[in-house]
């Protein structure tokens, strides 16, 4: 995927009409807060006022393993990635429960899990790029060809969902150790030191945090000067699953379908996607504030303020799914609240 031309935002004219309708509702000015604002954003993204109900919402979980997991950066062994792919397929993961509650269709893709999952359905396994990725403080995560394949894979998946009628998309992540490359990507793009982006991921202790910070610092030092080319940056510091999510975000935005972002991995990929396709961020809304410090930096750079701040750090797309009712509430008020002019005596 080559760097694309700037992506146009949702219709400014529709956005203005949506704001006018919001201001005309039989509610005090500003009383709906961000619920009203997000409803207007959905209307602009859909191109109509009032917006249509969000009945077709889909989450794609991109799964992959990370070479850094063998270097003490996580509280869990890499084998958990395979186990959790199987758990999502079985509908028993954390995000599975949330998705059932909120009517979200979930799919999981084995992009780079370091295991043989060929006993699972082909729609899970057929697009695998490789097993695992390089330990980014020692070597590149991927070859450039693997990055290109991963970007194309993500774009293809997004296009399939758009063509099938998806109104709103979400990206989820699954992979032990994945907050380390995600933090490194954010640091490289934004020019931040390892200390400012390294978080505790799955819940590592102080020694684990220090090891993780040192891995991020070494990775940044090893790849210094490579942030200008987003594709090369993904090869240096990313992974196949993260690159696939980047391709998914670029394609969704270019096709005019909004995306509800999740936690650190989703937002780190968004920072890279915005570098590839400037303007894409206008099609995204941040679902929640992760406990990971790199996510806060990334959100600020994208100009996004998360809808929820409830201390979540599960991944899997769970924070995006949990935030979906806020979007649906915004749609509902723009559709169903009376206009002040209609209820006041003539």
Catalytic residues: 316
Longest dimension (CA), the chain: 74
Both tokens of 276, joined, read: 């590839």
Q: How far is CA 24 from CA 15, 30, 31, 36, 301, in A?
A: 14, 11, 12, 12, 32
DSSP labels, 113-172: -SS--TTS-HHHHTT---SS---TTTS-SS-HHHHHHHHHHHHHHHHHHHHTT-SEEEEE
- Report, in angstroms and rounded to the nearest whole number, the Rg of the chain calculated over CA atoms: 20
Q: Are 280 and 6 in contact (CB under 8 A)?
A: no
What's the rounded Cα separation, in Å, for the pair 160 and 171? 14
Q: Measuring CA to CA, which residue among 188, 183, 187 is closest to residue 201?
A: 183
Cis peptide before 73 (omega within 30 of 0): no
Q: Extract the runs of DSSP E, i.e. beta strands, from 241-341.
A: 259-261, 284-286
What 3-state DSSP class applies to 186? helix
> How many other C-beta atoms are found inside a 10 Å radius of the C-beta of residue 74?
26
Dihedral class, residue 91 (left if φ above 0, else alpha if ψ from -120 to 50, else beta):
left
Which among 174, 175, 179, 182 is positioned nearest to 203, based on CA atoms? 179
């Amino acid at each position: 995927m080559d760097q694309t031309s700037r992506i146009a935002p949702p219709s400014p004219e529709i956005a203005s009409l949506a704001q006018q309708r919001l201001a005309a509702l039989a509610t005090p000015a500003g009383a709906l807060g961000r619920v009203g604002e997000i409803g207007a954003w959905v209307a602009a993204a859909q191109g109509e006022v009032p917006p249509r109900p969000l009945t077709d919402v889909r989450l794609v979980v991109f799964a992959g393993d990370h070479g850094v997991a063998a270097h003490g950066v996580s509280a869990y062994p890499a084998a958990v990635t395979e186990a959790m792919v199987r758990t999502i397929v079985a509908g028993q993961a954390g995000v599975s429960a949330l998705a059932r509650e909120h009517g979200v269709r979930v799919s999981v893709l084995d992009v780079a899990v370091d295991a043989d999952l060929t006993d699972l359905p082909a729609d899970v396994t057929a697009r695998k790029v490789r097993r695992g990725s390089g330990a980014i403080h020692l070597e590149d995560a991927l070859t450039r060809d693997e990055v290109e394949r991963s970007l194309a894979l993500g774009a293809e998946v997004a296009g399939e969902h758009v063509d099938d009628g998806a109104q709103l998309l979400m990206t989820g992540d699954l992979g032990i150790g994945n907050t380390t490359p995600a933090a490194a990507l954010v640091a490289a793009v934004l020019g931040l030191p390892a200390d400012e982006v390294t978080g505790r991921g799955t819940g590592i202790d102080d020694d684990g945090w220090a090891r993780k910070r040192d891995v991020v610092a070494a990775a940044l030092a090893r790849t210094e000067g490579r942030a200008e080319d987003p594709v090369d940056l993904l090869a240096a510091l990313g992974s196949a699953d993260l690159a696939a999510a980047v391709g998914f975000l670029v394609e969704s935005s270019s096709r005019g379908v909004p995306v509800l972002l999740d936690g650190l991995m989703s937002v780190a990929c968004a920072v890279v996607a915005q570098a590839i396709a400037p303007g894409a961020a206008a099609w995204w809304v941040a679902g929640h504030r992760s406990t990971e410090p790199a996510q806060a930096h990334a959100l600020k750079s994208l100009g996004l303020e998360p809808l929820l701040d409830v201390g979540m750090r599960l991944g899997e797309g769970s924070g995006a799914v949990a935030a979906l009712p806020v979007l649906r509430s915004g749609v509902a008020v723009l559709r169903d609240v009376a206009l002040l002019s209609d209820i006041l005596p003539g």
